[in-house]
């Protein structure tokens, strides 16, 4: 009888380990413009990222984690669970943009409020600022600290002739290197968070986005690298240090056993081969090739998400919205339909999301890609960004009007670097995949900044 009781207790304990703890704290670390192979855990050799690598080993690494080609689009997907063809944010907002994330979009922090979460953003917003209603505190965040736009001077926090640094959406003049200040504020919020209330802490670093600046001490270990690479290495090392400080605060507050940590870039690496490393992926930021839309990423939740594991089914930023809403018990009623799917069964049970096709949206409604299994179809892919000197944030989003449509097809299992276009050799596959792509994009909306009224929001596609 005693042995039976012990066995039952053991089984109950094992079952409890598979269930998510009640309302875990959530931290999302988003590194700006990081390359696919810049971190050690994802193949990097020349930049030291010990805190990120140690953290990744405690959780599950995504092998096919899709983001967006540019900054604002990625953030919009994360905040809404919807793709650019439905939320209208395809690229990167500029300093003079007179639009932002549409106000009828429900955001992740707004949803998490219904589950009792304190919500905070510490870092780069980049989803609208030209009117108060578009700013973070009006979009569901209880606390805000950092920059509204991007491309600020890391030391003076200026961009476009004025300081872009705020606390709770009010101008804030605080001296210091921005990555250091972001870490300090995140630690403060963790230390002050009431123990009986869960926290959603969104930490979108402006590092390693340009301008490329870092205290000289961070580049000292990288004098063997070319100057452009050494500066970026120092910037990523500073971000790694910041993540280490934030996670130390989580542990000191005894929150580490009940905190879900997510890590990724917002888009592919900028200027691959010059600054970042996207090996073995083709091209980088701004493109719909793998190097522009695929990120190093992982998720950690001790005792729930397996440690030291890798998962291969494709997932994307937009999947976190429904995943976190369900995980936390937040109100799931949506004013607009979602594109993301719940990926918790994938993380905890290895069960792939139920979708036969995976849509990838580029920097305009005309730049699209579709994955079906190992096959990837691209329509109007960008010209190569390899060696580009201009940041894709500042470039035109779509194909030139009147140019012929370009279609490419690759088998990613055999050709992850997308070097051999098989479109001419596989006409029937191209035809079938193009038909599926057209079906998934019937209700596409124009850019939120196009200056024309958006059509009625249609049903989201998976």
Other beta carbons within 10 angstroms of residue 419's beta carbon come to 8
Q: Does residue 105 lie in a domain region?
A: yes
Amino acid 21: pLDDT: 60
CATH code at position 425:
3.30.1120.10
0.85 exceeded by pTM:
yes
Q: Is 71 a catalytic residue?
A: yes
- Among 327, 349, 371, identify where a domain stops: 349
List own/partner pairs for 399-407 with CB under 8 A and 24 or more apart.
Answer: 399/364, 399/366, 399/367, 405/379, 405/380, 406/379, 406/380, 406/381, 407/377, 407/378, 407/379, 407/434
- Among 329, 349, 369, identify where a domain stops: 349
Q: Is 172 a catalytic residue?
A: no
Q: Are 231 and 368 found together in one domain?
A: no
Question: What is the per-residue pLDDT across 190-205, written as a single tens digit (0 to 9) for each?
Answer: 999 998 999 999 999 9
Q: Are 334 and 230 found together in one domain?
A: yes
Rounded CA separation 364/166 (Å):
31
Q: Does residue 51 lie in a domain region?
A: yes
Kind of pairing, strands 294-300 and 309-311? unpaired
Q: Are 322 and 398 found together in one domain?
A: no
Evaluate if residue 446 carries a pLDDT over 50: yes
- Is the omega angle on the peptide bond into residue 55 within 30 degrees of 0, that is, cis? no
Question: What is the per-residue pLDDT across 226-270, written as a single tens digit (0 to 9) for each?
Answer: 999 999 999 999 999 999 999 999 999 999 999 999 999 999 999
Q: Does residue 129 lie in a domain region?
A: yes
Nearest of 351, 369, 352 to residue 360 by alpha carbon = 369
Nearest of 307, 204, 187 to residue 251 by alpha carbon = 187
- Residue, of 454 and 218, whose pLDDT is higher: 218
Amino acid 397: pLDDT: 55
Q: Does residue 251 lie in a domain region?
A: yes
Of the candidates 71, 77, 113, 209, the residue annotated as catalytic is 71
- What average pLDDT does the structure give for the chain? 91
Three-class secondary structure assignment of the chain: CHHHHHHHHHHHHHHHHHCCCCCCEEEEEEECCCCCCCCHHHCCCCCCCHHHHHHHHCCEEEEEEECCCCHHHHHHHHHHCCCHHHHCCCCCCCCCCCCCCCCCCCCHHHHHHCCCCEEEEEEECCCCCCCHHHCHHHCCCCEEEEECCCCCCCCCCEECCEECCEECCEECCCCCCHHHHHHHHHHHHHHHCCCCCCEEEEEECCCCCCCCCCCHHHCHHHCCCCHHHHHHHHHHHHHHHHHHHHHHHHHHCCCHHHEEEEEEECCCCCCECCCECCCCCCCCCCCCCHHHHEEEEEEECCCCCCCCEEECCCEEHHHHHHHHHHHHCCCCCCCCCCCCCCCHHHHHHCCCCCCCCEEEECCCCCCEEEEECCEEEEECCCCCCCCCCCCHHHCCCCCCCCCCCCEEEEECCCCCCCCCCCCCCCHHHHHHHHHHHHHHCCCCCCCCCCCCCCCCCCCCCC
Q: Are 345 and 365 found together in one domain?
A: no
Q: Does residue 456 lie in a domain region?
A: no
Question: What is the per-residue pLDDT across 374-428, written as a single tens digit (0 to 9) for each?
Answer: 999 999 998 765 555 566 765 545 555 556 789 999 999 999 999 999 999 999 9
Q: Lowest mean pLDDT: which of 57-66, 68-77, 88-97, 334-343? A: 88-97
Q: Does residue 446 lie in a domain region?
A: no
Q: Does residue 400 lie in a domain region?
A: yes
Amino acid 405: pLDDT: 87
410: containing domain = 358-440
Q: Are 342 and 370 found together in one domain?
A: no
State both tokens at 187. 């630690």
- Among 322, 349, 376, identify where a domain stops: 349
Rounded CA separation 280/123 (Å):
29
Q: Are 413 and 339 found together in one domain?
A: no
Question: What is the per-residue pLDDT across 280-290, written as a single tens digit (0 to 9) for each?
Answer: 999 999 999 99
Collect all residues with Cβ–Cβ distance below 8 Å to 164 and sequence separation of at least 6.
147, 148, 149, 152, 157, 158
Amino acid 17: pLDDT: 39
Q: Are 375 and 265 found together in one domain?
A: no
Q: Are 196 and 231 found together in one domain?
A: yes
Q: Does residue 216 lie in a domain region?
A: yes
Nearest of 51, 16, 82, 56 to residue 459 by alpha carbon = 82
Q: Are 406 and 333 found together in one domain?
A: no
Of the candidates 126, 143, 157, 209, the residue annotated as catalytic is 126
Collect all residues with Cβ–Cβ distance below 8 Å to 49 and sequence separation of at least 6.
38, 39, 40, 41, 236, 237, 240
Q: Are 237 and 367 found together in one domain?
A: no
Nearest of 76, 36, 67, 24 to residue 288 by alpha carbon = 67
Q: Are 377 and 288 found together in one domain?
A: no
Instruction: Indicate the number of domains in the chain.
Output: 2
Rounded CA separation 200/144 (Å):
12
Q: Are 185 and 62 found together in one domain?
A: yes
Whether 136 contacts 166, CB under 8 Å: no
């Amino acid at each position: 009888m005693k042995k039976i009781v012990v066995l039952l207790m053991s089984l109950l304990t094992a079952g409890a380990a598979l269930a998510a703890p009640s309302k875990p704290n959530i931290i999302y670390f988003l590194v700006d413009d990081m390359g696919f192979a810049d971190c050690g855990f994802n193949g990097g050799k020349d930049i030291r990222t010990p805190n990120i690598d140690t953290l990744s080993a405690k959780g599950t690494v995504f092998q096919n984690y899709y983001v967006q080609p540019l900054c604002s689009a990625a953030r919009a997907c994360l905040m809404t669970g919807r793709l650019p063809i439905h939320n209208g944010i395809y690229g990167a907002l500029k300093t003079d943009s007179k639009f932002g994330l549409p106000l009828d979009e429900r955001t992740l922090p707004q949803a998490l409020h219904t589950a009792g979460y304190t919500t905070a953003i510490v870092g780069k917003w980049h989803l609208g600022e030209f009117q108060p209603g578009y700013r973070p505190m009006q979009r569901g965040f209880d606390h805000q600290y950092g920059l509204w736009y991007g491309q600020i001077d890391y030391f003076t926090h200026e961009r476009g002739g004025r300081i872009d640094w705020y606390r709770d959406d009010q101008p804030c003049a605080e001296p210091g290197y921005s990555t250091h200040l972001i870490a300090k504020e995140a630690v403060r919020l963790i230390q002050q968070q009431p123990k009986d209330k869960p926290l959603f802490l969104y930490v979108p670093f402006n590092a390693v986005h340009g301008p490329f600046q870092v205290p000289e001490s961070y580049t000292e270990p990288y004098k063997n690298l070319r100057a452009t690479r050494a500066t970026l290495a120092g910037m990523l090392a500073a971000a790694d240090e910041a993540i280490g400080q934030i996670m130390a605060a989580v542990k000191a507050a005894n929150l580490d056993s009940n905190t879900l940590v997510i890590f990724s870039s917002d888009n592919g690496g900028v200027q691959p081969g010059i600054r970042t490393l996207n090996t073995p992926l083709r091209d980088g930021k701004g493109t719909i090739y793998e190097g522009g839309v695929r990120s190093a990423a992982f998720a950690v939740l001790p005792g729930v998400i397996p440690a030291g594991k890798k998962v291969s089914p494709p997932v994307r930023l937009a999947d976190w919205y429904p995943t976190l809403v369900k995980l936390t018990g937040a109100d799931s009623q949506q004013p607009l339909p979602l594109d993301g799917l719940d990926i918790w069964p994938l993380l905890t049970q290895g069960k792939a999301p139920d979708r036969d096709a995976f849509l990838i949206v580029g920097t305009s409604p005309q730049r699209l890609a579709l994955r079906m299994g190992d096959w990837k179809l691209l329509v109007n892919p960008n010209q190569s960004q390899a060696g580009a000197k201009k940041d894709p944030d500042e470039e035109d989003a779509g194909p030139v009007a009147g140019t012929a449509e370009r279609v490419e097809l690759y088998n990613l299992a055999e050709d992850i670097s997308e070097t051999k276009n098989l479109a001419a050799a596989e006409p029937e596959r191209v035809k079938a995949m193009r038909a599926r792509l057209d079906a998934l994009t019937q209700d596409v909306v124009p850019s939120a900044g196009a200056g024309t009224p958006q059509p009625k929001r249609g049903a989201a596609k998976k």
